[in-house]
Structure 1
């Protein structure tokens, strides 16, 4: 214990811990918007921490490399080699001090994020624990790797090269995990870093295969780094590479190859809680009374349709930020994706007023858009406005599409389509809405859907 206390005072251990706390907090604050979804769920909070980890990781490795060069800088390498005390004991004490402080700092930062969620009235579950353990293990093993590199290559350029190289690896890994569709392949090697840019959602987390694969890899990396640190011969250093080699082989066989297998719905936060036919996720349970009132009213109005929907569910799909919502004739899906308005900022559907939620459920006659998120089809947009107006008793702005409503030209086209639709007899209007609903369920050509709705 005396040696450990000395290393805590004389080494960069406490500075490394401070770097984790300060840089992690600062970078997370810089990349976080005021209405970030992660503040609503402890699991999402730890997942959001993977973004600033790219910077924290590089700084920690750089400090560890600098610390690993201490004996060489002080020119006492031969002196310590000649002492009777085993070298692995002294170096093990140093490694324990620096890696231990960094691990504690990462755990404290993780606990701080959970505390933010708690103080904000968010949802807390044990789902954040695997994510926290992975980050702690990743940073601790990276410290050991940095110490080993510093001791093995005591050159003035080693520190800046290691720092820049780590940051470049983190950046490349982040880009390698950017996709356009759930089925897109991802690099398993990119998952051997702790870096990941998650979607702005409080309903998703990494899959078990990712957590296990990364834990195996970082554990093997830590063992190899420690063995390299304490080895005195090149043969011993080469033998020390075996744990990392086995770990990377096992990890790559476990890690997913497709993006859809990387993210999954949080099994705890995403579990549905219901009030009659209306269900929302547990993480949004506070919004259930408002959603239930709006949902029941919407279902009552939609009941005039043949094969009318009977339930309203929040869309908790892990891929809802990339693909259109699934088709269902029985369930009206309420999106969990955010809505941006210039005047009102970034809001989520469950944060809307009851009347606005009801309008969203009316749009498309209870069928979610066929257009993928962050894309728009103008004809489908008009269909959604006209069908919502039919059940609402008049046109009104859809919260999910304020830009079309507030644009003079597009608003005029909506009004024209509405007048053509209202010119039909009442029974004909219902038949056309019912037909449009069936076409939307099959995601048929939006132009044909609009023509069937408003054509003379």
Structure 2
């Protein structure tokens, strides 16, 4: 313990821990929005840390490499080699001090995010623990790797090369995990870094296979890095690569190859809580009274349709940010996506959102725009509302003169039909939306132009 206390004072261990806390907090503040949804769920908060980790990870490796060059800079390498005390004891104490402080600092950073969520009235569950364990292992093993690199390659360019190389690896890996559809294949090797850009959702987390694969890899990497740090011969250094090789083989066999297997539902946060026939994810339970009132009002309006829906549920699917919303003739889904998210709207706004499309969400993928589909949503919502009204999820169409004119024209054509024809048109549009038929045909059926 005496040696450990000495290393804590004479090494850069405490500074490394402070670097993690300051850089992690600063980068999280810079790259995320104050209105970000990660503040609503402790699991999302720790997952959000994966994005700025590209910068923190690089700084930690570079800082550790600088520390690993201490003996070389002080020109005492031969002196310590000649002492009777085993070199692995002294280097092991140094590694324990630096990696231990970084591990504690990382855990404190994650705990601070969880506390931020708790004190902000957000949802806290044990779902963040696997994510925190992975981040702690990633940074502590990277410290050991940096120390080994600094000791084995004591050159003035070692630190900048290690720092820049780690950052480039992190950014390249982050891009390699991006996808445009749930079925896209991603690089398993990219998942060997702790960097991940999570979607703007508080309902997802990393899958068990991702967590297990990363834990295996970073544990093996840490063991190899420590053995390289304390080794003295080329043979022992070669043998030190075995744990990382085994960990790599095991991790690659466990890690998923499809994006839909990387991010999955947070089973705790997305568990449905209900008020009668209206349900939302547990993480949004505080919004249930508003959604329940709006949902019951919407179901009462939709009851005039044949085979009318009977339930209102939040769409908690993990891939909601990449695919069109779910559709079911018995269920009206509340989208978990959009700006602003429907669950943050007022009761009247939520009611209109549920009535749009006659209780069926649009077929366009997120972050895409379809004019005909937008007009259909406005006309159907206005039919049940008794007059044109703005949809909070699509203010652009409402405030754009050209698009607003298209809405008005479609509304006038629709209102020119008899009451029975209007109801039949809405019912037909609903059935077509359930099967995602061409939006132009849906609009024609609604307004009676075909």
Match of 2:24 in 1: 24
Match of 2:361 in 1: 368
Q: 1:302-333: per-residue Cα shift (whole Å, max 9, x none)?
A: 01111110000001111111110122101000
Q: Is 1:217 paired with 2:217?
A: yes
Equivalence map 1:418-433=2 (5 Å): 418-433=411-426
Decide which of 367, 385, 393 is 1:392's aligned counterpart: 385
Could you tell me how far apart the structure 2 residues matched to 1:129 and 1:88 are? 32
Q: 1:339-386: per-residue Cα shift (whole Å, max 9, x none)?
A: 1xxxxxxx3211111111000000000001100000011111111111
Match of 1:443 in 2: 436
* 1:455 Cα deviation from its structure 2 partner: 2.5
* 1:408 Cα deviation from its structure 2 partner: 1.0
Decide which of 408, 411, 419 is 1:415's aligned counterpart: 408
Match of 1:12 in 2: 12
* 1:82 Cα deviation from its structure 2 partner: 1.3
Could you tell me how far apart the structure 2 residues matched to 1:162 and 1:449 are? 57
Q: Is 1:330 paired with 2:330?
A: yes
* 1:338 Cα deviation from its structure 2 partner: 3.2
Q: 1:203-241: per-residue Cα shift (whole Å, max 9, x none)?
A: 110000000000000000000000111111000000000
Q: Is 1:454 paired with 2:447?
A: yes
Could you tell me how far apart the structure 2 residues matched to 1:63 and 1:358 are? 54
Match of 1:162 in 2: 162
Could you tell me how far apart the structure 2 residues matched to 1:442 and 1:337 are? 21
* 1:73 Cα deviation from its structure 2 partner: 1.1
* 1:148 Cα deviation from its structure 2 partner: 0.5
Q: 1:122-151: per-residue Cα shift (whole Å, max 9, x none)?
A: 000000000000000000000000011111
Ranges in structure 1 where 5+ consecutive residues have no aligned partner: 340-346
Could you tell me how far apart the structure 2 residues matched to 1:266 and 1:293 are? 26
Q: Is 1:277 paired with 2:277?
A: yes
Count of residue pairs brought into register by the alignment: 449
Could you tell me how far apart the structure 1 residues matched to 2:191 and 2:138 are? 12
Aligned-partner SS, 1:325: coil
Match of 1:64 in 2: 64
Alpha-carbon contact 2:425-2:448 (below 8 Å) kept: no
Aligned-partner SS, 1:240: helix
Match of 1:343 in 2: none
Match of 2:298 in 1: 298
Root-mean-square deviation (Å): 0.7
Could you tell me how far apart the structure 1 residues matched to 2:297 and 2:283 are? 23
- Runs of at least 4 residues off by over 3 Å: none
* 1:400 Cα deviation from its structure 2 partner: 1.0
Match of 1:251 in 2: 251
Could you tell me how far apart the structure 1 residues matched to 2:373 and 2:186 are? 32
Could you tell me how far apart the structure 1 residues matched to 2:445 and 2:283 are? 40
Could you tell me how far apart the structure 1 residues matched to 2:45 and 2:211 are? 16
Could you tell me how far apart the structure 1 residues matched to 2:155 and 2:246 are? 30
Could you tell me how far apart the structure 2 residues matched to 1:381 and 1:66 are? 57
Alpha-carbon contact 2:16-2:102 (below 8 Å) kept: yes
* 1:84 Cα deviation from its structure 2 partner: 1.2
Match of 2:108 in 1: 108
Q: 1:387-445: per-residue Cα shift (whole Å, max 9, x none)?
A: 11111111100111110011111111111111111111111111111011000001001
Aligned-partner SS, 1:424: coil
TM-score by length of structure 2 reads 0.99
